[in-house]
Amino acid sequence: MSAPGDFAVEAVDGAARAGRLVTAHGVVETPVFMPVGTLGTVKGVDPAELRAVGTQILLGNTYHLHLRPGEDLVAELGGLHRFMGWDGPILTDSGGFQVFSLAHTRTVDDDGATFRSVYDGDLVRLRPEDAMRIQADLGSDIAMCFDEVPAADAPLAEVARAVERTTRWAERCRASPAAPGQLRFGIVQGGTDAALRERSARDLMGIGFDGYAIGGLAVGEERDETFRVTAETASLLPVDRPRYFMGIGDPEGILRVIAAGVDMFDCVLPTRLGRTGAALTAHGRLNLRNRAYARDPLPLDPDCPCPTCARFSRAYIRHLVAQRELLGMRLLSVHNIAFLLALAAQAREAIVEGRFDDFQRAALERLAGDD
Amino acid sequence: MSAPGDFAVEAVDGAARAGRLVTAHGVVETPVFMPVGTLGTVKGVDPAELRAVGTQILLGNTYHLHLRPGEDLVAELGGLHRFMGWDGPILTDSGGFQVFSLAHTRTVDDDGATFRSVYDGDLVRLRPEDAMRIQADLGSDIAMCFDEVPAADAPLAEVARAVERTTRWAERCRASPAAPGQLRFGIVQGGTDAALRERSARDLMGIGFDGYAIGGLAVGEERDETFRVTAETASLLPVDRPRYFMGIGDPEGILRVIAAGVDMFDCVLPTRLGRTGAALTAHGRLNLRNRAYARDPLPLDPDCPCPTCARFSRAYIRHLVAQRELLGMRLLSVHNIAFLLALAAQAREAIVEGRFDDFQRAALERLAGDD
């Protein structure tokens, strides 16, 4: 097992799986949380810190990197890995989600999408072939298909049209050239409708991809719906291919999608929370702006071995946050990433040992102790 | 040589010296640049990074730490070293400079100064005894006397009064309790007047301190005046005690005060420049906001071995700066600190080898190539 794309499921416990995915830049043990490096940097965190806390794979955003600094510049500087100083695996999204969530104005036709850049308002055209070429130029290890993401409250006919278009676009993405060793994942759409999800999954499996993502969820629908649709969709996907839930990063959500049979997941949550002064812990979130922590000598999470918790008190970090010191955002971001990586690693261990249910139940109970 | 305060001059070359100062938290090899950790953090930089680039001693600001988070809180959390996760030597200033440069309104009498906090406008009273008690509570390795700093354009009579008051306050500081192993440095005032500088130096030497600082310079006077007064003042100070120039951090200035016989110096410049997108290099400053660096594959300074230059291109850092990414400020700050530490270390080597004049001339010529 050594060629990019090789994926072995090493253990199954209920629907939860422990696997190993080979990429051109190394092996990823799943379930795995992927920190997001939107613009070629996980906000405020150094690649050496990411490595130190056990990061296996990063996510980069095609939409943002296309606009700033541009894939041609990144390619000229040796590709995204070299540009950002990260020699491990990188997954790039396709820009689909950003086009549909960030674009101020957009028009979509069967050939692609046209939207205005969030950076300068310039009109930008993105077709499936463009999304794949950009990702090939960036040189990521896993490229995502360009998809149409309907809103959570979109009428069923609109969701059906998005499924149809996502399938046509996936065919064009599959036919586009990839970087050497670059894997391609299809993205299942279909909102919360079981029939549409099934159709989308079967369409994509018919085309054939190295892995399959569950997209268009966690966009505003009820949370129980998210996990129901995730479990249903995951059960339709090939057992021998990795499954990726796009955009979930809260500890409860991570546990629930792992339970539903998901192998990979990403979110900006740990760094976004870090920049706003919040810490994830086994006992819920801490808001470090709270005066209650002003003299608290404990680390953010007493059970966490990360470089932040090994060295600094809540009192110190609360002081940094109160004074808007850059180091505070950074120490919190590093801890939050370390916490989610550790949660996924603990889930993996529990799956391998056949005690995932117990692990999940105990973890969810502890997490419910939010302050 | 192992008791705090021991200072050995190991080599002299012209007026320049290479020495070793023992503190309660380790030995400092001089000449030495001291990065400034105003509020218990060198802005944006992790203590592990400071250590990795060769930082020997940090500076903390009594004025700021007294107001935020307060020395009582720092003491309760184990002192400044433990609070900020830095186990090397720390020098704290006395607050004198901040009182005179930052205070919106202040009244000074023979007993002390009253001013409004920059944080909340509260009225704060600071007397020499307070400044020493705060520094003892912080637990720094070197405490500075509370001094009166006249403006660069102050009339001679006002400068003379500040010298007189600084001497009286120095006596009171000397009589105040210190933390275990804490050294005390006096601060020579006197503006650009040779007679007043001499009087101030003799007054302080009469009281007797572990080291002597040259204060009240680089506050707006002509640059040649700065270095003339520094050389004259340094020549009056005991050869067997360390000399500290307060507040200089540009490469040229560092070389010039070393040439004048100064052993220690500090400045916020490397981190301030880092936050505004500028890099110090052997060939002058680079403004990374400049589009000229957009595709430049070179490191900030091709001769620099720091973690920033070893891993990242100007193009990448320019991208981070252009997108206001936190990592950009941080990588630049680390490099700028590493650059000044290396400059002082190279100066030390040149002094030891008796070639400081040649070293300084060559370094100044290279630096003049500013972009």
State the pLDDT at residue A105. Answer: 81
Alpha carbon of A345: minimum distance to chain B alpha carbons (Å): 26
Contact list, B323 vs chain A (CB under 8 Å): 39, 68
Q: What percent of chain A has pLDDT over 90?
A: 95
CA angle at A310 for the pair A307 and A316, rounded to the nearest 5°: 95
Helix residue ranges, H only, chain A: 47-52, 62-67, 71-76, 80-84, 96-101, 128-138, 156-175, 194-207, 223-236, 251-259, 269-275, 307-311, 314-322, 326-352, 356-367
Contact B128, B112 (CB under 8 A): yes
**B137, B250, B266, B301: the active-site residue:** B266
Q: Quick check: A73 contacting B, CB < 8 Å? A: yes
Contact list, A48 vs chain B (CB under 8 Å): 307
State the pLDDT at residue A101. Answer: 85
ipTM reported for the complex, 2 dp: 0.97
Instruction: Give kind and range of the element (H or E) at residue A127.
Output: none
Q: Mean pLDDT, to the nearest integer, of B172-198?
A: 98
Which one of A327, A335, A337 makes the best mutation probe of the B interface by having the most chain B beta carbons within 10 Å? Answer: A327
Does residue A19 sit in helix, strand or coil?
Answer: strand
Question: Is pLDDT at B319 greater than 80 in this prediction?
Answer: yes
DSSP string computed for B132-195: HHHHHHHT-SEEEPP-----TT--HHHHHHHHHHHHHHHHHHHHS---TT-EEEEEE--TT-HH
Report the first-to-last Cα separation within chain B, whole angstroms. 45
CB contact under 8 A, A323 and B39: yes
Q: Quick check: B68 contacting A, CB < 8 Å? A: yes
Determine the Cα–Cα distance for residues B286 and B300; give it in Å rounded to an integer.
8
State the pLDDT at residue A371. Answer: 44
Q: Residue A303: count other Cβ atoms within 10 Å of its Cβ.
A: 12
CA angle at A356 for the pair A354 and A359, rounded to the nearest 5°: 125
Closest CA to A247 of A220, A225, A277: A220
Residue of chain B with shortest Cα separation from A291: B69
pLDDT class of A348 with cuts at 50, 70, 90: very high
State the pLDDT at residue A100. Answer: 87
The DSSP bridge partners found for residue A51 are none
Q: Mean pLDDT, to the nearest integer, of A205-212?
A: 98
Q: Quick check: B312 contacting A, CB < 8 Å? A: yes
State the pLDDT at residue B36. Answer: 98
Quote the tokens at residue B28: 């400092």
CB contact under 8 A, B295 and A76: yes
CB contact under 8 A, B316 and A85: yes
DSSP string computed for B222-248: -HHHHHHHHHHHHHHS-TTS-EEESS-
Instruction: Give kind and range of the element (H or E) at residue A36.
Output: strand A32-37
Determine the Cα–Cα distance for residues B60 and A113; give it in Å rounded to an integer.
54
pLDDT class of A274 with cuts at 50, 70, 90: very high
Q: Quick check: A313 contacting B, CB < 8 Å? A: yes
Contact A316, A297 (CB under 8 A): no
Touching A: B residues 149-208, CB under 8 Å? none
Closest CA to A46 of B88, B45, B327: B327
Model pTM score = 0.97
Q: What is the pLDDT of residues B124-149, one digit of tens each?
A: 999 999 999 999 999 999 999 999 99
Phi, psi angles (nearest 5°) of residue A112: 165, -160
Q: Using alpha carbons, list the distances in angstroms from residue A227 to A36, A217, A232, B292.
A: 22, 9, 8, 49
Q: Mean pLDDT, to the nearest integer, of A38-53?
A: 97
Determine the Cα–Cα distance for residues A240 and A8; give it in Å rounded to an integer.
7
State the pLDDT at residue B104. Answer: 67
Q: Quick check: B48 contacting A, CB < 8 Å? A: yes
Q: Mean pLDDT, to the nearest integer, of B98-120?
A: 89
Q: What percent of chain B has pLDDT over 90?
A: 96
Contact list, A295 vs chain B (CB under 8 Å): 73, 76-77
Domains and CATH numbers, chain A: 7-267 (3.20.20.105)
Phi, psi angles (nearest 5°) of residue A82: -65, -40
- Sheet strands side by side (includes A112-116): A106-109, A112-116, A123-126
Determine the Cα–Cα distance for residues A97 and A106; give it in Å rounded to an integer.
13
Q: What percent of chain B has pLDDT over 70?
A: 99
Alpha carbon of A51: minimum distance to chain B alpha carbons (Å): 14
Alpha carbon of B39: minimum distance to chain A alpha carbons (Å): 8
State the pLDDT at residue B369. Answer: 79
Q: Using alpha carbons, list the distances in angstroms from residue B186 to A341, B119, B217, B259, B264.
A: 51, 28, 15, 21, 14
Contact B280, B273 (CB under 8 A): yes
Q: What is the pLDDT of residues A137-173, one digit of tens each?
A: 999 999 999 999 998 899 999 999 999 999 999 999 9
Alpha carbon of B256: minimum distance to chain A alpha carbons (Å): 32
State the pLDDT at residue B1. Answer: 57
Does residue B220 sit in helix, strand or coil?
Answer: coil
Determine the Cα–Cα distance for residues A131 and A144; give it in Å rounded to an integer.
8
Q: What is the pLDDT of residues B61-97, one digit of tens each?
A: 999 999 999 999 999 999 999 999 999 999 999 999 9
Burial classification of residue B153, based on how many CB atoms lie within 10 Å of its CB (0-12 exposed, 13-18 middle, 19 or more buried): exposed
Q: What is the pLDDT of residues A85-142, one digit of tens each?
A: 999 999 999 999 998 887 668 999 999 999 999 999 999 999 999 999 999 999 999 9
CB contact under 8 A, A77 and B325: no
Eight-state DSSP code of residue B31: S
Q: What percent of chain A has pLDDT over 70?
A: 99
CB contact under 8 A, A313 and B68: no
Alpha carbon of A110: minimum distance to chain B alpha carbons (Å): 33
Determine the Cα–Cα distance for residues B257 and B16; give it in Å rounded to an integer.
9
- Report the mean per-residue pLDDT for chain A: 96
Q: Using alpha carbons, list the distances in angstroms from residue B368 to A180, B91, B256, B284, B299.
A: 46, 31, 14, 6, 20
Determine the Cα–Cα distance for residues B1 and B21; give it in Å rounded to an integer.
9
Does residue A332 sit in helix, strand or coil?
Answer: helix
Determine the Cα–Cα distance for residues A228 and A245; give it in Å rounded to an integer.
13
Contact list, B300 vs chain A (CB under 8 Å): none
Residue of chain A with shortest Cα separation from B293: A73
Determine the Cα–Cα distance for residues A301 and A285; give it in Å rounded to an integer.
10
Question: Is pLDDT at B227 greater than 80 in this prediction?
Answer: yes
Dihedral of the CA atoms B49, B52, B54, B55 (nearest 10)? Answer: 30
Question: Is pLDDT at B370 greater than 80 in this prediction?
Answer: no
Whether the ω angle into residue B69 lies within 30 degrees of 0, i.e. cis, is: yes
